[in-house]
Copies of this chain bind each other. A is one copy, B any other.
Amino acid sequence: MADTTETLEERLSRIHRALGDERLEAVDDVLADLEPAEVALLLESLPPAARIKLWERVPGEVDGEVLLHVHDEVRSTLLDDMDHAEIVAATAGFDTTDLAEIFEDLPQQVAEDMLRSMDELQRNRLQETLSFEEDSAGRLMRTDTIAVRADVSLETVKRFLRWKETVPDNTHALMVVDRNGFFMGVLPLARLVSHDPEMAVADLMDSDVDSIQVTMHSRDVATLFQTHDLASAPVVDADGLLLGRIVIDDIVDVIRENSEQALMNMAGLDEEEDLFAPVMPSAKRRAVWLGINLATAFLAAWVIGRFEDALDKIVALAVLMPIVASMGGIAGSQTLTLAIRGLALGQISRTNSSWLLRKEIGIAALNGVLWSLVVAVLAVLWFGSVAIGVIIAAALVINMLAAGIAGIVIPLMLKRSGIDPALSGSVILTTVTDVVGFMAFLGLATLFLL
């Protein structure tokens, strides 16, 4: 039995030490107990040099499974370390779904040789799978479905299964089809074993089950699995012909990736990003994001520059102005995060967005008034000027209202334009709260204090 009490962190320390001391048998000992997905996690947790050392100790027969479990970016670092023959051997046992998953990452020469070595049927299947959109049900489905006819008896089904011998362990239900292969329903194995063998499949099957269109987006497939507590589901084409099945194991990955995506995108990162990517490519990728933000920072500076006069005369303005911008940014990012999660879950539509906007304006008004009073008192105590207190309070209320509105309106507009709100939302929002904040505070000061 695998030791389930050792955490990844402990295992990581153990293997890190073993790799450092070149104790390769100790490395092999750790590897021997692990599932491919655990090896994948370990590989992802190691810096490049250690990662390659470990990868070379991973037994060839699990190489393929490990490649399927790592993030895209890590996968290409591993593939780079393999020669032609190793890649072919690792992917030899892959079904079409798995092959399609990594096919586009393969070195071109390997991919071509692989296609050439396939028989007609395999090649057609792979090309068909690759023809489905990247995030569609067609890419997730497995073709190892066991289908039975509706008009046979349970006894016949059992004889068939005994004759087949190898029913995949993760089969929870048999698919039921008519004589032309069209989907009719599902027969859970639990029912097959607990009912009279003389009964017909048709009498016992569930025909009220959700079948998945092969073109359905993986995100919608995941929602369906979650809302219907499914363990597996049939995939059909537009005519209802059974093409395969999707199992929950693959859906769990979709759910995790979708949730991680919002978190990473909000910081301008890709969810496939390798934590231990080398410095140069990482720096390049992040440079783009920093450049965009620099442009917006210059925009804010330009706004400040419009008020040089006021800044020149009253130094307190320069001291206090970041407070107005920062409070707006924080309030706005709270609203934005809520909206991004709501949009990701499909919970925000045109019908309820106006209610949401009113709610966020209400919250902004309440917190704006509360905190502007605090800020005003502190500003008066600090600089001994009531006028500055009043002006910063007014500017803070204005900026927090702007933040609340922008936090709802920006993601909705981005979504409607087909742009990922998590990726662009925070840059645009900060621009709004910086510009509005500086303009309101310095503008009011120019009007009333000069």
List residues of chain A with CB under 8 Å of any chain B CB: 1-2, 4-5, 7-9, 12-13, 16-17, 35, 37-38, 41, 44-47, 50, 158, 161-162, 164-172, 188-196, 207-213, 216, 220, 223-229, 231, 248-249, 251-253, 255-256, 259-260, 262-264, 266-269, 273, 275-280, 282-283, 286-287, 289-291, 293-294, 297-298, 300-301, 304-305, 308, 311-312, 315, 317-323, 325-327, 330-331, 333-334, 336-338, 340-342, 345-352, 355-356, 359, 362-363, 366-367, 370-371, 374-375, 378, 382, 430, 434, 438
Contact A229 B322, CB 8 Å, known A351-B12, A367-B287: no
Interface of A is mostly: helix
Q: Are B330 and A276 in contact (CB under 8 A)?
A: no
Q: Are A12 and B338 in contact (CB under 8 A)?
A: no
A438 to chain B: closest residue by CB: B322
Q: Are B167 and A211 in contact (CB under 8 A)?
A: no
Residues of B within 8 A of A293 (CB): 326-327, 330
Q: Are B266 and A337 in contact (CB under 8 A)?
A: yes
Residues of B within 8 A of A252 (CB): 225-226, 248, 251-252, 255
Residue from B266, B282, B301 in contact with A323 in the complex, judged by beta carbons closer than 8 Å: B301
Q: Are B189 and A190 in contact (CB under 8 A)?
A: yes
Q: Are B267 and A263 in contact (CB under 8 A)?
A: no
Complex copy number for this chain: 2
Residues of B within 8 A of A330 (CB): 268, 289-290, 293
Residues of B within 8 A of A351 (CB): 12-13, 16-17
Q: How far is the CA of A237 from the CA of B205 in the complex (A)?
A: 37
Nearest Cβ on chain B to A24's Cβ, whole angstroms = 17
Nearest Cβ on chain B to A118's Cβ, whole angstroms = 26
New A-B contacts (11) at CB < 8 Å, excluding given A231-B248, A266-B337, A282-B359: A1-B211, A8-B346, A9-B346, A45-B347, A47-B355, A172-B231, A259-B260, A262-B263, A278-B359, A287-B371, A300-B322
**Most chain B Cβ neighbours within 10 Å, of A35, A193, A259:** A193
Q: How far is the CA of A283 from the CA of B371 in the complex (A)?
A: 12
Contact A322 B434, CB 8 Å, known A188-B169, A347-B45: yes
Q: How far is the CA of A170 from the CA of B231 in the complex (A)?
A: 7
Q: Are B327 and A297 in contact (CB under 8 A)?
A: yes
Residues of B within 8 A of A320 (CB): 301
Nearest Cβ on chain B to A101's Cβ, whole angstroms = 15
Q: Are A267 and B337 in contact (CB under 8 A)?
A: yes
- For the complex of A and B, the 5 pairs showing the least CB-CB separation, nearest first, are A259-B259, A318-B318, A279-B362, A267-B337, A8-B346
24 A-B pairs with CB atoms under 8 Å apart are A1-B210, A4-B224, A7-B346, A8-B223, A12-B352, A13-B349, A35-B227, A47-B356, A162-B194, A169-B191, A172-B189, A231-B248, A267-B336, A275-B348, A286-B363, A287-B367, A287-B370, A287-B371, A290-B371, A294-B371, A294-B374, A300-B323, A311-B318, A322-B438
Nearest Cβ on chain B to A229's Cβ, whole angstroms = 4
Contact A166 B194, CB 8 Å, known A227-B38, A294-B374, A297-B323: yes
A40 to chain B: closest residue by CB: B227
Residues of B within 8 A of A266 (CB): 263, 266, 337
Q: Are A297 and B311 in contact (CB under 8 A)?
A: no
Q: How far is the CA of A168 from the CA of B193 in the complex (A)?
A: 12
Q: Are B287 and A194 in contact (CB under 8 A)?
A: no
Q: Are A319 and B305 in contact (CB under 8 A)?
A: yes
Residues of B within 8 A of A321 (CB): 318
Q: Are B193 and A9 in contact (CB under 8 A)?
A: no
Contact A46 B352, CB 8 Å, known A227-B41, A229-B170, A282-B363: yes
Q: How far is the CA of A297 from the CA of B342 in the complex (A)?
A: 29
Q: Are B297 and A322 in contact (CB under 8 A)?
A: yes
Q: How far is the CA of A9 from the CA of B231 in the complex (A)?
A: 25
**Most chain B Cβ neighbours within 10 Å, of A165, A195, A286:** A286
